[in-house]
Structure 1
């Protein structure tokens, strides 16, 4: 118990330090560009534009829920909204609460187990879905890197951002390979440790591994999850193009898809920083000139994303907390 108690404060300190550093970076970027320019760009989207921006995010959450549902065996179609709700809580916790993405994943799984779905089924399907999600992100990131490398090849600004795009691609490939290769060893170690603490807990972990094997032997389910996740990446990136158009920014959809594919890769690599705060803003500023955009427009887009996450995530988390309290009572 002593070692466990020591680990928790250190992990919290690391996350807190990363969040504080990112927040300071974000303020620095905003100060350099000018707060007036940024907030003028934010206001230019209008209420209708912001609502449409949020609506696109709801579609993304539905697609992510469908992807998770696709790899969950023996579930009726009427339960699919529950999986979208689980993804909503997962994304809200990762973006709003002072958690890393890992904390959001745990809350998302808790949402489904709390609704009565078996522990083994929830975690097995979640791990398989995360594999499909990362595989689809790899393809989407390849699109961004390919566009940077070939379509914009030869420009000095394009060359300056190529190392960043290649680094993002390399991180995604590494994360995907590690996730695939070490899924079962990590589960086995977790099961052994859990068995020493809570008798019988190791059996649950082994059941998760067995359920994963069952799911992996159903390629059509994996293909469905991959497809839904890919659609979610594309729709999510397209929402940024819609927001920019409402702001009066004329930019091609291809350019925005390229930018967003690399931003998504950065966010995945910076999973320890809640919301990738600071890092997201810095990457936007770095890529803006390449596509004929200004730093104020890109920072405004980043702030709109955070405002959207709060607008959707806060009510979702409050409702989740109410449901959890009722369940405990």
Structure 2
């Protein structure tokens, strides 16, 4: 899938002129640093949305969780893990200082669900704004497709709930004692979060704030390219970018898919193909800078965990 993304990116750049895009990006200069910095509030708000889901009496501090969030985003953006490997990494790294792996795993799963629910609403709002202001039939088709996907997922979850999947999992864990401890602990962790409805609602609200902050980030990127955007335009572009990432989830960073989305609807937003590609590549630059930082933080975080295990094994020996 990575090869397909790289090939698609190369085709788009070749067909729309690398030179023109490079010239636009070269005019950004120091303002590129502002584009990178504009994403940090997005990450911070999403981190708060995750923190409220952790056990109230054992929640790690925001600086530690913020670091893990950066690591998660880096893994999903730069490594071939289909946008899910970062969740596994942050769950494992968070399982320390009294938190069990079951608790951190459950919090990450619910965090993803809360963020996805917020993303669906954010994208629908951005599409509604686009359809009301741009009158482009392609936007209406995208909105209907998204609603169909959401309805299908919601229906599947409802059927699973009515079929008693959770109860059957519990019965299964009781029959097979070899895995009963792990499955039982994870089920208990989910029940603990599920009983705190206020925290789940707060997580969703924080994620909604994060998606809104993403529109501000896009506004900064468009301003850096000299496009003189409005906040409404930035909202539409951010909704488009997030929709493209969902469509291309199997490709690391939705490589090539995001660029195609910008080109597909860029004309309706008043962007030339060169400007649309330059905007997408500026976003790629931000992902690369923060991604490298996240991978460095991951490298710096892992030895503490590995070192602790090594010391324990040595003591046992």
TM-score by length of 2: 0.86
In the alignment, is the contact (CA less than 8 A) between 1:131 and 1:180 conserved in 2? no
Aligned mates of 1:322, 1:178 — CA distance in 2:
40
Aligned mates of 1:281, 1:152 — CA distance in 2:
20
In the alignment, is the contact (CA less than 8 A) between 1:120 and 1:207 conserved in 2? yes
Cα 1:169–1:252 shift into 2, 3 Å: farther
Kindly provide the CA deviation profile for residues 5-34 of structure 1, in whole angstroms up to 9, marking residues without a partner as x.
xxxxxxxxxxxxx11111111111111111
Are residue 27 (structure 1) and residue 10 (structure 2) matched?
yes
Kindly provide the CA deviation profile for residues 132-190 of structure 1, in whole angstroms up to 9, marking residues without a partner as x.
1111111101102212333323xxxx113432333234334544554676598489769
- 1:3-152 correspondence to structure 2 within 5 Å: 18-47=1-30, 49-75=31-57, 79-113=61-95, 117-152=99-134
Kindly provide the CA deviation profile for residues 258-280 of structure 1, in whole angstroms up to 9, marking residues without a partner as x.
12113212312322111101110
- 1:223-238 correspondence to structure 2 within 5 Å: 223-238=201-216
Find the residue that maps to 1:46 and give its secondary structure: coil
Aligned mates of 2:159, 2:281 — CA distance in 1:
37
Kindly provide the CA deviation profile for residues 282-312 of structure 1, in whole angstroms up to 9, marking residues without a partner as x.
0000111101111111211211111111111
Aligned mates of 1:89, 1:235 — CA distance in 2:
20
Which of residues 184, 192, 198 is equivalent to 1:206?
Answer: 184
Aligned mates of 2:155, 2:287 — CA distance in 1:
30
Match of 1:290 in 2: 268
Aligned mates of 1:77, 1:56 — CA distance in 2:
26
In the alignment, is the contact (CA less than 8 A) between 1:65 and 1:85 conserved in 2? no
Tell me which moved more, 107-116 or 173-182.
Answer: 173-182
Match of 1:325 in 2: 303
Stretches of structure 2 lacking an aligned partner (at least 5 in a row): 308-317
Find the residue that maps to 1:98 and give its secondary structure: coil
Match of 1:253 in 2: 231
- Give the C-alpha shift of residue 114 in structure 1: 5.1
- Give the C-alpha shift of residue 83 in structure 1: 2.1
In the alignment, is the contact (CA less than 8 A) between 2:76 and 2:86 conserved in 1? yes
Aligned mates of 1:173, 1:266 — CA distance in 2:
19
Aligned mates of 1:68, 1:74 — CA distance in 2:
12
- Give the C-alpha shift of residue 95 in structure 1: 0.3
In the alignment, is the contact (CA less than 8 A) between 1:285 and 1:295 conserved in 2? yes
Match of 1:10 in 2: none
Q: CA RMSD in A?
A: 2.7
Cα 1:43–1:172 shift into 2, 3 Å: farther
Cα 1:320–1:180 shift into 2, 3 Å: farther
